[in-house]
Chains A and B, each alone.
Chain A
Amino acid sequence: MRASGSKIQQIASSVRPRTSAIQSTPYSWINNSTPSSSTGTLAGKSIAIKDNISYTPAPTSCSSSILQEYNPPYNATCVESLVSAGAHVVGQTKMDEFGMGSLTTHLPPFYSLVHNPASPSPDEPPRSAGGSSGGSAAAVAEESCWAALGTDTGGSVRLPASYCGVVGLKPSYGMISRRGIIAYADSLDCVGILAKEVDDVEQVFDVISQPDGGDMTCSSSSSRSIASKILQRHFPKNGIRGLRIGLPQEISISCPPSLIKYLKSQGAEIVEVSLPALSKALPAYYVLASAEASSNLGRFGGGWYGSSVEREKANKDESGEERRKRIRTEGFGKEVKKRILAGTWALSADEFNNTYLKALHLRHLLRGNYQSLFRIPHPLSPTRSITVDQGGIDMLLHPTAIRTAPVLKSRQDKGSDEYNQDLLTVPASLAGLPAMSVPSGKGKDGWPIGVSLTSQWGMEGLVFKLGKVVEGWSRGQPTG
């Protein structure tokens, strides 16, 4: 079933990356330079990157008007690693402005939409590719690139992967350097990888998961070697025999029964587990992410940023403060402004103790919940003890999304459904754990669905291992 490298190249050339102001396309920028012949583990591979990953030739704008003409003067560390491994950056992909959104609909007015390419029939009305890394997921799904980088703050890689029927990994926090990633929420942001197959995701991960002296939150080589020793100890010797997989009770949507059956048949043990703090994860997430966003986005405006379009409007008599207000009012979209306001409020002196600190506390509780479930010790835990708890699990499994991709509408109001959706992706982000969405067949409407695998910090190896088993099962499923 697996396409060979050369076959992918042929497919890739059949769907060429393109930009368009009118027609839908995942790309905001295309690399027109011809890829030079390269050597390295990713030689000849074409990779798309999200619009918030700094790449000098590309106007890295986070799909925001405020950064419309911004060309970064340096490359993100992860891009440097890709390029040194021989990969070719094909283009930059659209996203929800600054990563805030889950449908890739929060776009500047001059961007065309992104359509989900995984449509079962050409007659279907266009659906969302998910977000915020919708452009990256769609680019992989339409096969205009071999793999794509996205970023995941609360599910922004996993959800679009599920909607578009591709694999999407959010690694452990700190595995991939964030240097050069335009920040949304520093304590949650992770560079993620999207590709058609788990193998490809793993290949890219191996290249960009490196220590980086330019990012103090990026894991050191000593932490990595501790993690890899722990991984070796817990890696199943024979397929997935003996792997203990937990299904969280608090998540009401269940995985396809045939998948569970298949995993059991392969020797995995399936147990039901509980994460009591899960229900509190969402308020914590929204407070923390918004607070960090309000801080990180403070730099945009005033003396330092603003496009030439903006400068034309400059009124000679306006004060610095007035100019800052104007730039920020005009430059940020509605969703971004909403979250900046919410975050500013959460950090205000009157609210800080009651809002921000409580959110931090809830995050702490949730992390504790996860740690009590795993039988694999946390590699970075200062009180690392070999507690091979017989009841402990290696991995959590649940659907990535509550539904297949929604139909694209001009306006998307956030209903309670979307909060239920966030519940499936946000907890792993808060806990800093690796989580990967793998296609798990189709929904009743014929559109793709995916399941999420979550494991202990630094256990990407286990996630890939189980991911490939799920992938194998998925391929055996009747299509359509």
Chain B
Amino acid sequence: MIILPRWGLTRPIINGIISPKCNVRCYASSSKATLGHREEEEEGEGEGEGEEKGWETVVGLEIHAQLKTGRKLFSTASTSYGETPNTNVNLHDSAFPGTLPVLDLHAVRLSLITALALKCQVNPRSTFDRKHYFYHDIPASYQITQHYNPLARNGKLPIIKGDNNVKRSFDVGIHQLQIEQDTAKSQTVGENVLVDLNRAGTGLMEIVTEPDMRSAEEAGAFVRKLQGLLRRLGSGDGDMEKGNLRVDVNVSVHRHGTPFGTRCEIKNINSVRFLQAAIESEKKRHISHYLTSPSIPLKQETRGLNELTLQTFSLRSKEVATDYRYMPDSNLPAISVDPGYIDKLQDELPEMPWDSVDRLMILYGVSKRDVETLIGLDEYHFLGIKYYEDVVKGDDKKIAKKAMNWIVHELLGQIGKSGITWSPTLIPAELMRELVIAVEINKITGTTGKSLIKHLISMSIPPTTESTPSFTTLEEALEAAGLKIDDTVIDLEELSRKAISNQPKSVADYKKGNEKVIMRLIGEVMKLSKGTADAKKVKDVLVKLLNEI
């Protein structure tokens, strides 16, 4: 459990308070002190062409992910998106005098599982601090955050060669993960600055990476992977366009074997595409600066991205650093987490998307792409993966691959055409399994299977919950669809005889030794059976009959 000791004997504890934040995050600044050990692990031997050859880009990310709890971190106001401005506001969110924060433990739990999924070390005791600044987006003039003792530190997220077209497999280090409040939204309209407090006080996880990425693709791969992780855990939506996942990126460029260059931060990026564009633009700008004016140091600054030109532009210089006057927040108890509780959360962690991909690929010999398609059906609860595994039920690879084909290509293909969304109840896994097996043992033909799927999908348009019939057996479903199991050889013989009498020319050609013409006869049988016959079986019957003639 999460224990919140009351402010008794021993609150504000000082040990563990680290030197100013700058020291910790100074990973790519121009100062001489920060280089060294990182150079050794350098990979990518000067890719790129022309002017970019021989340069290395160093990228670190600072990510703010809104916690998906439905309420604010320290108040009970709702966090639903797109409401009328200033309606999701409680007195504490607007910093009314005398109001006090009440921590949402659900937010702590979601942050803990995120930290564990990122393989972080959870601090046995973490505390809240105030970060002070005067601005209209922060009514209390301070943000409650975790500066001195963050929730978790030292994690990593593995990036695999091929993810988002990256060219190497490596780990992105997670420097720390902390819980903090979101600010209000402000926008300038004419001469007025309008403030919307709906977002103020929403719980955020701030995830700070080490500067381990070396290209725009690598940064994009990290963000995509993190989005999948957040959704799988249910701790966040990871939706950059809605602003519930926001990425600030630090970029610096240097020649291989030389110290890190000056770091610039690009803020307020709204999509992975823009993130990559910002890094590219910044890389080019830095290289061009170092080439054209090597004697002038590159200015350390905060920049924005022009989404039309895909070029970065200066927002403010970082030369005058703001002093945030961090101070422990005495209104909030420390969070100390029982190790047993951590173990329990660790055990309950769901399988991460990339682990699902690996496992299914190895276990069933299916393709990465198909597994990713299944994941895409439901990134939160993995109902697509579950559906697939319910259909396969641990059977051997043969049916596993077939089942994947039936689900991903036939079922999802037809669903795609019909414009409805997939759900695991559309064709229950048990029924789907029977269908796949029936085709496999030639109980029904592939064509019948496809027709059945088509029929079942059409029955759920328009999707009505009550009238959708549920079938327990394949036979029932086939019957309802007006389809039959072609279980009679006699039927096939009859149809084949008919076909032979319909096409004497083909029979004559066959008898002359042109065995290929049997295809025409098979086609005739298929036509007569309205597609229900199994072509292989038809061929066998035809050969037998033709030899008898």
Interface residues of A (CB under 8 A from B): 54, 60, 62, 67, 70, 72-74, 76, 173-174, 178-183, 185-187, 213-217, 219-220, 223, 291-292, 294-295, 298-299, 301-304, 320-321, 324, 344, 347-349, 352, 356-357, 360-361, 363-364, 367, 371, 378-382, 432, 457
Contacts and interface: CB of A to CB of B under 8 A. Distances in A.
A142 B103 CA distance: 43
B7 A183 contact: no
Nearest to A219: B6
B391 to A, nearest CB: 48
Contact of A72 (B8, B98, B102, B140): B98
Contact of B6 (A73, A223, A302, A349): A223
Contacts of B99: 179
A182 B98 contact: yes
A299 B7 contact: no
A72 B102 CA distance: 19
A62 B132 CA distance: 23
Nearest to B95: A299
Given A344-B325, A361-B14, A72 B97 contact: yes
Contacts of B98: 54, 72, 76, 178-183
B5 A382 contact: yes
B12 interface: yes
Contacts of B103: 216
B94 interface: yes
Given A179-B100, A349-B323, A304 B94 contact: yes
B330 A73 contact: no
Interface of B: 4-12, 14, 17, 20, 91, 94-103, 130, 132, 134, 136, 139-142, 193, 195, 323, 325-333
Interface of A is mostly: loop
Contact of A457 (B8, B91, B333): B8
Contacts of B5: 380, 382
A25 B16 CA distance: 51
Contacts of A219: 6
A70 B332 CA distance: 26
A224 to B, nearest CB: 10
A187 B334 CA distance: 13
A256 B266 CA distance: 70
Contacts of B102: 213-216
Contacts, number: 139
A54 B327 contact: no
A380 B140 CA distance: 31
Contact of B14 (A220, A301, A357, A381): A357
Contacts of A347: 132, 325-327
Contacts of A320: 136, 193
Contacts of B329: 186
B132 A295 contact: yes
Given A348-B325, A380-B8, 7 more contacts: A187-B11, A215-B102, A216-B332, A217-B331, A291-B327, A352-B326, A382-B8
A136 B138 CA distance: 34
A180 B156 CA distance: 43
Given A298-B140, A381-B9, A54 B97 contact: yes
8 closest cross-chain pairs (CB), A and B: A380-B8, A298-B141, A187-B330, A347-B325, A186-B330, A182-B97, A180-B98, A303-B136
B97 A299 contact: yes
A431 B511 CA distance: 109
Nearest to A185: B330
Given A217-B331, A299-B139, A321-B134, A72 B96 contact: yes
B50 to A, nearest CB: 43
A68 B355 CA distance: 61
A459 B499 CA distance: 103
A346 to B, nearest CB: 9
A357 B17 contact: yes
B12 A217 contact: no
A44 B25 CA distance: 62
Given A214-B102, A298-B141, A349-B20, A367 B9 contact: yes
A93 B132 CA distance: 32
Which of A74, A183, A298, A301 has the most B CB atoms < 10 Å from its CB? A298
Contacts of A324: 134
A360 B12 contact: yes
A301 B10 CA distance: 34
Nearest to B20: A349
Contacts of A187: 7, 11-12, 330
Nearest to A62: B97
Given A295-B327, A299-B140, A432-B7, A215 B100 contact: yes
Contacts of A214: 100, 102
Contacts of B195: 303
B146 to A, nearest CB: 15
Nearest to A357: B14
Contacts of B101: 216
Contacts of B139: 299, 303-304
Contact of B134 (A178, A183, A298): A298
A356 B327 contact: yes
Contacts of B11: 187
A352 B330 CA distance: 16
A194 B176 CA distance: 48
Contacts of A357: 14, 17
